[in-house]
Structure 1
């Protein structure tokens, strides 16, 4: 039993080392070669959160400073006949449009537009099964693997998938042809999309599994659903569900059966749709190859019987996982 447990822990440790080695072996700074060629540096375009200054040379009355409204128009520029859409426009493009509208009241107005503050642009959120969930303010091209390394790497709680939610209009790259290259995408009615990436694909070096991350992206390293081990085990605990995780391996990961534990009285409480199943088995018989070693499912509750206690008939209540910290409380890191 001890050798089985050590082998199991060694496999997890080697997998984590291999993941970090593969991530570091890939170029973290340069963007992939197949990224669409952008017509200009999109960081210089107007984004939500930017503070924009409009200066009409020789006039204070028509000067303006402000930002975009939620629809992407200049908010509060009142001395014009029509609203001006500013999202993802360059300073020169906005100056030309404003000059044209001001020309109704002014003779040959010279307009200068400057983005004076870019610090309030949308940030990237990275949370889930990583050591250090963080927020990132991106000022240069960055790939998924680089952010994973900056967050301390992936923990053993991962389910094996990474989810990237890309909201609509929070960056200008997506409006110029940038997209997440993975095939597992789901578009939404509001123009946002969700992409699922397999960690095994990232480990194998697939370029599509290591996309460029854009401002506003929400990256979640999906955590595996839990399995609970209670009763007569050395260390009652919650473990992450894994493919083909058997009962004997799960008990070994909890330190094995305790001194007061009963190997021949093990109960698996399982929810199967609307049904609740109670499966009784014996670790003694499993070791002697007299009974099948059942494969566990996510959210199973395994209770090892204890001396002096009757076998439970109904599933116990378990503590729900603590709610994660609010995104806004995560530490902010600037990537430039």
Structure 2
């Protein structure tokens, strides 16, 4: 084979390879580009994280203190002492006034940062990039009170939003006389800054089970609104008197039977007429009362039904007059006889 033929064959093969590469590149360019699929789990995780972030941000925003009528503010404008103001009281309509600003500025329902941003925006036509800081000096717009069967009745000035259970802890918790309910009396709001969680504020009174509030259950642990008065009514009571070791008053926080009430009073003493225990019960809505005679011995021996007590029942355990008289005579006569001189009869 000649040298020229060898060179020509090699060139032909190279040309063929280049042609094949060009066709492959052309075909690849004509195919639509595809993106790697996004798995459902990854998408759900992104959405979940976004929702969680939004929920946290919303919660933080809800808990921030919002300025109200009567609050006193300090307003500082950097390098502008002539515009800064001390002890600015928010008017009843929620407005304040600032130098050089013709109209009033709404302070109510805003946080410190939101009001600072509002004032800075008003001053941009006089100064370039004014720096404004707002501080709440005195809190007066968010007063609430808690009364009734708590260990420390008091009024509070809120500096942030709190829930019912937290306020109850500041009152040192419910007392031993507390009943089963907790009530919130709502005052008409001077300014509605946020939509209430429920429509119960329209009725003026909300009632919750105290046990659920103490457990922190959401439906019984609402946010406290300005002007709210929280009341804890005392529980209904029953009274145990007569021939028992510890006569006492028992809060009726839960159903209590006759035998349990007597046991809580320490039990009956000697010479008690256990078959003649009286329950004095007042008829609801009237001033008349009736007596129910109960055999406590039969109840203890499961021969009679244990009676459930009603509010304001009086349990009277009577004394057996004959046994008491005999015991009294014995206790008086025996010591006297023992002191007599002994004589011998021959």
Q: Post-superposition shift, 1:294?
A: 2.2
Is residue 2:137 matched to residue 1:117?
Answer: yes
Q: Which structure is higher in RCO with an 8 Å CA cutoff and minimum separation 6?
A: 1
Q: Contact conserved, 2:278 with 2:316, CA < 8 A, in 1?
A: yes
Q: Post-superposition shift, 1:219?
A: 3.0
Is residue 2:293 matched to residue 1:273?
Answer: no
More helix by share: 2
Secondary structure of the residue aligned to 2:182 is strand
Q: Contact conserved, 1:127 with 1:133, CA < 8 A, in 2?
A: yes
Q: Post-superposition shift, 1:307?
A: 5.1
* Residues 12-161 of structure 1 aligned to structure 2 (within 5 Å): 37=58, 43=64, 45-52=66-73, 66-68=88-90, 70=92, 72=94, 86-89=107-110, 91-92=115-116, 95=119, 114-149=134-169, 151-161=171-181
Secondary structure of the residue aligned to 2:180 is strand
Instruction: Indicate the RMSD between aligned Cα atoms, in angstroms.
Output: 4.6
Is residue 2:221 matched to residue 1:206?
Answer: no
Secondary structure of the residue aligned to 2:245 is coil
Q: Match for residue 294 of structure 1? A: 307
Structure 1 residue runs without a partner (length 5+): 1-32, 100-106, 310-336
Match 2:251 to one of 240, 251, 270: 240
> C-alpha separation between the residues in 1 aligned to 2:237 and 2:57?
41
Q: Post-superposition shift, 1:217?
A: 3.7
Secondary structure of the residue aligned to 1:208 is helix
1:306–1:48 Cα change, 3 Å: farther
Q: Match for residue 195 of structure 2? A: 177
Q: Match for residue 202 of structure 2? A: 187
Q: Post-superposition shift, 1:125?
A: 3.3
Secondary structure of the residue aligned to 2:299 is helix
Question: Deviation digits for residues 88-130 of structure 1, max 9, x if unmatched?
Answer: 245348748998xxxxxxx969997945523334344344444
Q: Match for residue 197 of structure 1? A: 208
1:223–1:133 Cα change, 3 Å: same
Question: Deviation digits for residues 3-53 of structure 1, max 9, x if unmatched?
Answer: xxxxxxxxxxxxxxxxxxxxxxxxxxxxxx979937957745322331146
> C-alpha separation between the residues in 1 aligned to 2:299 and 2:121?
77
> C-alpha separation between the residues in 2 aligned to 1:204 and 1:59?
53
Q: Match for residue 8 of structure 2? A: none
* TM, length-normalised to structure 1: 0.56
Is residue 2:254 matched to residue 1:230?
Answer: no
1:293–1:46 Cα change, 3 Å: same
The number of equivalent residue pairs is 259
Q: Post-superposition shift, 1:150?
A: 5.0
1:142–1:86 Cα change, 3 Å: closer
Secondary structure of the residue aligned to 2:318 is strand
> C-alpha separation between the residues in 1 aligned to 2:282 and 2:162?
43
